Amino acid sequence: MTKKHGSAKWQGGLKDGTGHVSTESGVLDDQPYGFNTRFEGKKGTNPEELVGAAHASCFSMALSMILEDYDLKADSIETKATVTLEEKDGGFSVTASHLEVEASIANASQEQFNEAATTAKENCPISKLLTAEITMDAKLV
């Protein structure tokens, strides 16, 4: 079993407060986040982009693994996950994560790629974690 952690510190109210987020590896170390980085475009991170990065990276690794079942290896897989946060039922909810995938895979057929990408979308651990609708546009180049 693998366990990893992230942590966050917060001070103040929702709109005037400030937070900092860190990861166990130290890749993120006290990176700022807050209402203004989440909703007003100020420099810093926010939970939705972190979930997007987690989903994109998890999906890419899963696709790589599944391609091996076809004896294929990707020259490149580029994935962008766009996470949607919406006001819903009197609060906010992450309602969707849309994957945009572009992959270069020598000797892969479109059918193999579509099958592998769909399997990865449905089975990567972060997809399984999310209860939001997960959609995808996948392109073999």
CATH topology of domain 47-140: GMP Synthetase; Chain A, domain 3 (3.30.300)
How far is it, in rounded angstroms, from Cα 54 to Cα 125? 10
Model confidence at 45: pLDDT above 90: yes
Q: Where are the domains of the chain?
A: 6-39, 47-140
- What's the CA gap between 67 and 62, in Å, rounded? 9
Q: Write down the pLDDT at residue 69.
A: 95
What would the pLDDT profile of 4-32 be if each residue is shown by its tens digit? 999 999 999 999 999 999 999 999 999 99
Q: What is the pLDDT of residue 64?
A: 97
Return the SS3 of 84.
strand
Neighbours of 57 (CB within 10 A): 14
3-class secondary-structure state, position 38: helix
For residue 47, what pLDDT band results from cuts at 50, 70 and 90?
A: very high
DSSP state of 82: E
How far CA 140 is from CA of 59, 71, 72, 77, in Å, comes to 15, 16, 13, 9
Among 10-14, 32-36, 130-134, whose mean pLDDT is lowest? 130-134
- Per-residue pLDDT for 131 more than 90? no
Between CA 125 and CA 59 the distance in angstroms is: 8
| 3 state DSSP class of 49 | helix
Among the residue ranges 44-48, 59-63, 75-79, the one predicted with the least confidence is 44-48
pLDDT for the residue numbered 88: 87
Q: For residue range 74-92, list pLDDT tens digits in order.
A: 999 999 999 999 998 899 9
